[in-house]
Amino acid sequence: MSLIVRLLRVNAMDAEHRENKICDECGSDYLTATPAMSRLCSECAHWLYGYLRCDHEFVQQRCSKCGWDGSVSAYIRGLQAQQAEQRQT
């Protein structure tokens, strides 16, 4: 790969990270931690599609790693309740 192509790719990634993204599911702002899931925060991508969950580190009510603010949609709350039930039985 030429150096110029590499530089262009890095610039494209920077632009992506600066963009203020809103999760389609829970409405939280987030950083693009999972590029494949460009419209979901890492938390929703985990619950909806089984992506590796972020090991959230909250700093001033936002995860410093993925940018998730702790919002959970009603639908995902339901999935969490289901999973909790399955663990008990």
Among 44, 46, 47, 62, binds Zn ion (CB under 5 A): 44
The b-or-e profile of 48-59 (16+ CB within 10 A means b, else e) is beebeebeeeee
Task: Give 2-15 as a DSSP string.
Answer: -HHHHHHHHHHHHH
Task: State the binding string over 52-71 for Zn ion (x if CB under 5 A, else -).
Answer: --x-x------x-xx-x---
Number of shown-chain residues binding Zn ion (CB under 5 A) = 11
Return residues touching Zn ion (CB under 5 A).
23, 25-26, 41, 44, 54, 56, 63, 65-66, 68
